[in-house]
Amino acid sequence: MRIDVLTLFPDMFEGVFGASILGKARDKGLVRLSAVNFREYSTNKHGQVDDTPYGGGGGMVLKPEPIFAAVEDLLRRKEAETPQTEAAAEDDTVPTPAPPRIVLLCPQGETFTQRKAEEFAREEHLIFICGHYEGYDERIRTGLVTDEISIGDYVLTGGELPAMVMIDSTVRLLPGVLGNENSAVTDSFSTGLLEYPHYTRPTEFRGMQVPDILLSGHHANIEAWRRRESLRRTLQRRPELLDRLELNKQESKWLDELRREEEDRL
């Protein structure tokens, strides 16, 4: 996978791209990460990338020219770096590279979810556009981007932090990135439920015990306990997630029992 970020503050990404899971994924060659300062594509001698909005109003609006030029340059460079033989060019059976997903970080966008991360992880190339100031010229939305995404119902200074969140969430899903491939599969939201409780050594700590079922060695019973506890945690903390979940007969029975337990507890 290739991920490019268009930003006015590329230095913000140096530590993030080089550390932890992202750094390991890059070192393994599983992802190529870059942060590009789109001010370099300004047509103004002062490097200006924003201007006052037509019609008046407060704040400054990002101009379309630098962002369009930056994306187009990225695509040209990618094409130049991709070797292609004459035989492959003439062979209709050879798939052409998929166009990139161009993601605009915007508070008006679709809320980012685990499902969207899984969707992004299937792409070959992602480009994130990090805004600043009051907003974007509308022609960036209508003439360039494929997705407008938000990480929540609040406003940040810029799109850099949301881009980092989405990139981390996406890259960890790529094959070979995590040491244990099952880790991403059982994460909260990947199954539609919040994740079950985890325990490790010691079995007793300050009077708090590890549940006996986890010490039993009976894998089927452990998996059943984990699924039931995921249902319990989701019911207690994010009950709206259950409305979108298809449950089997056993899970529906557990959920009914858990709801009764919650009613008694309250």
Active-site hit among 148, 187, 195, 251: 187
Q: 3-state SS string over 69-80? A: HHHHHHHHHHHH
Residue 111 DSSP symbol: E
Number of other residues whose CB lies within 10 A of the CB of residue 42: 18
Q: Does the annotation count 107 as an active-site position? A: yes
Q: Which residues are annotated as a binding site for S-adenosyl-L-methionine?
A: 131, 151-156
- Host H or E run for residue 203: none
Active-site hit among 32, 64, 107, 141: 107
Active-site hit among 134, 168, 195, 251: 134
- Are the CB atoms for 173 and 117 separated by under 8 Å? yes
- In single-letter form, the type of residue at position 200 comes to T
d(Cα 264, Cα 78) in Å, to the nearest integer? 61
What are residue 125's DSSP bridge partners? 2
Q: Which residues are annotated as a binding site?
A: 131, 151-156
Q: Does the annotation count 172 as an active-site position? A: yes
Strand order in the sheet with 125-129: 32-37, 2-7, 125-129, 101-111, 147-150
Q: Please, is 66 exposed, middle or buried when counting C-beta atoms within 10 Å of its C-beta (0-12, 13-18, 19+)?
A: buried
Residue 58 DSSP symbol: S
Active-site hit among 172, 227, 228, 232: 172
Q: Which residues are tagged catalytic?
A: 107, 134, 172, 187
